[in-house]
Structure 1
């Protein structure tokens, strides 16, 4: 309903008829409510102009427009929403006298200097407002004469002691009454069912249910913004599926935590879509696993064990989203791409089959369960989630959206850009990596593992790698430099192993390149170590082939520190400008060297997987040689 043009007579008559029908089966009503049911009218007789004038003379203020228009139709109202049982007319409205002594505490809190202006504007509310509630469940309805809009409307503020929140603001009395009609609609079906009454159906419910149906069709056709507008309105009336469908749009639109009620455990979406998302939310919130009440057999006897298994899998990063049909087959393929770092290829697989996706019921419009899959959730960037929302699916048709672009940059020079490996920061990151030809990522531990049979971890987030591999380690040695390497595909027939911010700095005399060991099966291997955060920039490249060293060079602070073998012309340090006197010039030279390596070998490493995704990891052999005769080293023992 358009708030600026309320047809008060029809609006109030419809509300009264809906209320009377909903209470037609209730025997125990107050005399006033029984009369309202018989007369099918919750209001009173219209106020005359003399009544309104007398009220305004008594209160010393002209009333705002929509309240005056309401009074001309009904001089008061019963059951405004669920918690205000009688609303004031011309005779009952009075200035609030703060009998509960709320003003002092609220004003002190609202008046704090760091509060926003709209919060500080509430100071003095309890001493200046016009009180409209006559009978209520400790709920105050206050017209604020100092919060006046350009149309002359006074804002209405509603406060209930049991809500423990600031007063809720409505821009006008008309807006308040429409919201109370909506509030009553959200509560009436539940109360009617508890009291054994008939199904709550009326013109309003039929209108809003039809809007939900149109919204669902629009959403499945890719018109999610149109759908969201319809669902927002229907949700205010508590219509079935409105909040659930809107929540799915919000989840893919990047917002979470709307507090939507979970579907019943019998609903197929409970275990496959919503429960894993709840588990992911719990994990990301940092709350303890004990907060997971879905695994309580006393509450969920049929699904508790499955819920516990889902929570554990999400916490360990092993949960897998498993929809059925052709879409499910594509999800499996996309996971295989994502777990080796090829997130762009994973999205291309998913994008191709979104039109084939089928909902699990009328409360389902999108495969939001993807967002709980630890490998596929990072693939769904904000742009890709919107593309998914805009793609027709579930048997509906519509224009295909413009495709979201790839996220992984070409070449390797992006590694030296500020924030490259920490998008939430502007600083650069140190790193070391190995590029290996002819070897699959899962074969790298056999070549470079710290011990025979070194396993790959489950896919891990970057911040979990050290804790996973070294949570129980108590002895650390300065000569033992084992890297914790994330692995994946680096291009056609190439794999990578990558460590961000090595704990040890590059030590030229003691460094042992793993390139020969990595190339032992017969291909080529390239090691790159780049650090800028330890004061003096260092850039090192070494290469091996067939188990034999081929070339290597190290530049430290603009000086060629070491060089061995036939360094390719494209990587000659002087030609690239490594002799620049400043750090920025040396960073530019490193960028050129990285892109030259990428061009020569057609390799890259995936930024999205390294920064936001999960990758398998392992502990490598030491990149430093043991101490020689007479050399000293430090060993630290903890605990």
Structure 2
């Protein structure tokens, strides 16, 4: 990591997305969330006090800025060379989390040996683990927030931890600027790659873009996940999307004709007295736009049945259902042949999600068959 330009961009985006009254006057003046660089002597003194050389990426970070403000939305201040210390000495009560982590001897547990690098946070900590070192000398890094009720999240290095915190900042605040524009361009290329049949490469890019709060990435990624049989991941992503959907999303044919029929089918399969479906979760609270879309979608499905897309494709799928009822293999072959006539409903449509709303088609489309549909060029690609 070349820390200075990257942290400068982070600083500029944070300041641009904040109210001036909420910022430290020094940050406003210097346009910098950090501090002066630590000297080599200060870093060496910290290493001597700790009894270990610091990992390379963290050492370079301190030589760029001795501390940091606003590392994401829930860490308000990071430690400097003078305040670095062992987690067991500074905040020993976190050692109770050892019982919730992987089974390992207490004397070698990461909570007992961790280096605390956060100073002020929202009921959480950031720490480095000197007992988990890779071939380049990097220590594993962890974030843990008690209110998340989740185990600590591991990162391969301090750099990876900071990249995650930066993505979290973008997901929460969605600042304008170079980073947002760069991810939007990558999302568009991933859409083209997906239509060309490269589902895996597209999925990898879209998953990263989703971490940066790009809603279009979620809309595209959910389609790929559903066809690949990753319904849990799709449900989690789509639940988040429904609570921050782009304007006009609930009236878009991609939602009304593709996603909504799948939501009805998912509800029929999974809703119980102990578990909400995605649809039930979306309806919690005052959500008139969702309730209206759901009511209209139910009425449309009762009246017309599912619509599978472009007329030629829709007719072929309906014919396949009539001709091959009870013969899953024949139904699959007919649907695969019909894909030649599949076309996107709009610029964000990359996969035939509507097929999954029909129970016979859903049972026929195994993850392997879904992949077969996604790895062939579609639409006009």
The residue correspondences of 1:608-623 to structure 2 (distance < 5 A) are none
Q: In structure 2, the residue corresponding to 1:151 is in which secondary structure? A: coil
- Please name the residue that 2:270 is paired with: 285
- 8 A Cα contact 2:198 2:375, kept in partner: yes
Task: State the structure with more CA Rg.
Answer: 1
Q: In structure 2, the residue corresponding to 1:391 is in which secondary structure? A: coil
- Please name the residue that 1:167 is paired with: 152
- 8 A Cα contact 1:170 1:176, kept in partner: yes
Q: In structure 1, the residue corresponding to 2:76 is in which secondary structure? A: strand
- 2:3 aligned with 1:8, yes or no? yes
- 8 A Cα contact 1:88 1:133, kept in partner: yes
- 8 A Cα contact 2:20 2:28, kept in partner: no
- Please name the residue that 2:111 is paired with: 126
Between 206-215 and 318-327, report the one with greater CA deviation: 318-327
- Out of 103, 113, 137, which is 2:95 matched to? 103
**Residues 255 and 132 of structure 1, relative CA distance in 2, 3 Å threshold:** same
* Structure 2 unaligned regions, length at least 5: none
- Please name the residue that 1:20 is paired with: 15
**Residues 146 and 285 of structure 1, relative CA distance in 2, 3 Å threshold:** same
- Please name the residue that 2:312 is paired with: 326
- Please name the residue that 2:292 is paired with: 302
**Which whole-Å deviations, capped at 9, do the CAs of 1:180-222 have from their partners, x for residues lacking one?**
1111111112xxxxxxxxxx32111111111000000111111
The residue correspondences of 1:142-153 to structure 2 (distance < 5 A) are 142-153=127-138
Supply the distance in 2 between the matched residues of 1:395 and 1:343 (Cα, whole angstroms). 28
- Please name the residue that 2:213 is paired with: 238
Q: Per-residue deviation at 1:309?
A: 5.9
**Which whole-Å deviations, capped at 9, do the CAs of 1:338-371 have from their partners, x for residues lacking one?**
32x2333333332233233222333321111211
- 2:35 aligned with 1:44, yes or no? yes
The residue correspondences of 1:480-629 to structure 2 (distance < 5 A) are none
Supply the distance in 2 between the matched residues of 1:187 and 1:203 (Cα, whole angstroms). 17
- 8 A Cα contact 2:98 2:109, kept in partner: yes
- 8 A Cα contact 2:114 2:130, kept in partner: yes
- 8 A Cα contact 2:309 2:343, kept in partner: no
Q: In structure 2, the residue corresponding to 1:238 is in which secondary structure? A: coil
Supply the distance in 1 between the matched residues of 2:354 and 2:193 (Cα, whole angstroms). 21
Q: Per-residue deviation at 1:251?
A: 1.5
**Which whole-Å deviations, capped at 9, do the CAs of 1:404-442 have from their partners, x for residues lacking one?**
xxxxxxxxxxxxxxxxxxxxxxxxxxxxxxxxxxxxxxx
- 8 A Cα contact 1:110 1:123, kept in partner: no
- 8 A Cα contact 2:71 2:165, kept in partner: yes
Task: Compute the RMSD of aligned alpha carbons.
Answer: 2.7
Q: Per-residue deviation at 1:100?
A: 6.5
Supply the distance in 2 between the matched residues of 1:43 and 1:109 (Cα, whole angstroms). 34
- Out of 55, 59, 71, which is 2:50 matched to? 59
Q: In structure 2, the residue corresponding to 1:209 is in which secondary structure? A: helix
**Residues 281 and 178 of structure 1, relative CA distance in 2, 3 Å threshold:** same
- Out of 360, 368, 384, which is 2:369 matched to? 384
- Please name the residue that 1:227 is paired with: 202
- Out of 143, 156, 164, which is 2:141 matched to? 156
**Residues 134 and 295 of structure 1, relative CA distance in 2, 3 Å threshold:** closer
Q: Per-residue deviation at 1:268?
A: 1.9
- Out of 259, 268, 277, which is 1:274 matched to? 259
- 2:128 aligned with 1:135, yes or no? no
Q: Per-residue deviation at 1:164?
A: 0.3
- 8 A Cα contact 1:241 1:362, kept in partner: no
Query: Which structure's relative contact order is higher, taking Cα pairs within 8 Å and 6+ residues apart?
Result: 2
TM-score calculated relative to the size of structure 1 = 0.53
- Please name the residue that 2:227 is paired with: 252
Q: Per-residue deviation at 1:98?
A: 6.2
- 8 A Cα contact 1:295 1:303, kept in partner: no
Q: Per-residue deviation at 1:319?
A: 6.4
Q: In structure 2, the residue corresponding to 1:158 is in which secondary structure? A: strand
- 8 A Cα contact 1:366 1:389, kept in partner: yes
- 8 A Cα contact 1:215 1:226, kept in partner: yes
- Please name the residue that 1:541 is paired with: none
**Residues 74 and 295 of structure 1, relative CA distance in 2, 3 Å threshold:** closer
- 8 A Cα contact 1:132 1:142, kept in partner: yes
* Structure 1 unaligned regions, length at least 5: 1-5, 190-199, 397-639
Higher helix fraction (1 or 2): 2
- 8 A Cα contact 1:296 1:304, kept in partner: no
- 8 A Cα contact 2:11 2:32, kept in partner: yes
**Residues 297 and 394 of structure 1, relative CA distance in 2, 3 Å threshold:** farther
**Residues 321 and 123 of structure 1, relative CA distance in 2, 3 Å threshold:** farther
Q: Per-residue deviation at 1:290?
A: 7.5
**Residues 249 and 157 of structure 1, relative CA distance in 2, 3 Å threshold:** same
**Residues 343 and 125 of structure 1, relative CA distance in 2, 3 Å threshold:** closer
